[in-house]
Amino acid sequence: MIWTIKALLDWSRDYFGSKGIPTPRLDAEILLAHVLSLKRIELYLKFDQPVADQELARFKELVRRRAAREPVAYLVGEVWFWSLLLAVRPGVLIPRPETEVLVEAALEALRGLAGPGPCPVVELGTGTGAIPLALCRETTGLEIVSVDCSPAALNTAAENRVRHQELLSPKGNRLWLVRGDRLEPIHPGFRPRLIVSNPPYIPAGVVESLEPEVSVHEPRLALDGGPDGLDFYRYLVGFAGRALAPGGRMVVEIGSDQADEFCGLVEQAAGLRVMEIRKDLARRPRVGVVEKAE
């Protein structure tokens, strides 16, 4: 049998569907376009093109791995976030579209924090480096310190920093990647004007019930927020109360059912107030914006 692009797409779509893959056609297109070094739209312009044996073997191996619920982003090694093509590696959390709401809120916070000199920013849990690089894409004069305890994450973030070097020094931005437990490497005298984080916020008992792409393949360290999912918010609220510059802001992603608990934690902290709970495109609470008193 001669396998054409159309025949492979139809076959893999049906196969993925039989395995319970939620987006069978899309996944088939992404994987085949990756193997053939084409854009997805080009697949439709070359429907009748035969696929060479070597490319066919590579594609079928990726299909096998995807059917075993390995994430597409790990299979192709890249993901789009905020119009940036980022490297993503196994063992590193895959950036989600919902996190772009966090970037939007952080950019608005930065506009409200404009002042003389560079703007110091701290990020907890950088992963691929998606959030700081997205911020650097849209503004200038940022001094970002991003902390992660995972060597795999820091290596991937460093790879993406090199990929998108044009967003840094040419625009007056600097991004330091620091390994450490939470924000302990931050000097006690450092006063960031912005704290930003997409922390682990899934309750520990829920992680195993998530879809296999997440529960089996993504790093538990980046998912598990403790027994009630709030451990890192407690830590971040405490850190913001101590370290955030007067008038500074903290912008964090939250679980869709955690807005009330998050607001309660902030209300208990002296000098902090919740400015906004921002919703995502599905109208679910997604981002908390906190301000420190002047």
pLDDT tens sequence across 134-146: 999 999 999 999 9
Segment (H or E) for 273? strand 272-279
What pLDDT, on the 0 to 100 scale, is given for residue 68? 94
For 225-248, what is the mean pLDDT? Answer: 94
Q: Collapse the DSSP code of 240 into the 3-class scheme (helix H, G, I; strand E, B; otherwise coil) and give the result.
A: helix
pTM: 0.90
Is the predicted pLDDT of residue 130 greater than 80, yes or no?
A: yes
pLDDT tens sequence across 238-285: 999 999 999 999 999 999 999 999 999 999 988 999 999 999 989 999
pLDDT tens sequence across 4-13: 999 999 999 9
For 165-178, what is the mean pLDDT? Answer: 93
Q: Supply 212's token pair.
A: 């296999």
The answer to whether residues 146 and 123 touch, using CB atoms and an 8 Å cutoff, is yes
Distance, in Å, from the CA atom of 268 to the CA atom of 49, rounded to the nearest integer, reads 64
Return all residues near 207 (Cβ < 8 A) that are at least 6 apart.
214, 215, 220, 223, 224
Return all residues near 241 (Cβ < 8 A) that are at least 6 apart.
269, 270, 271, 272, 292
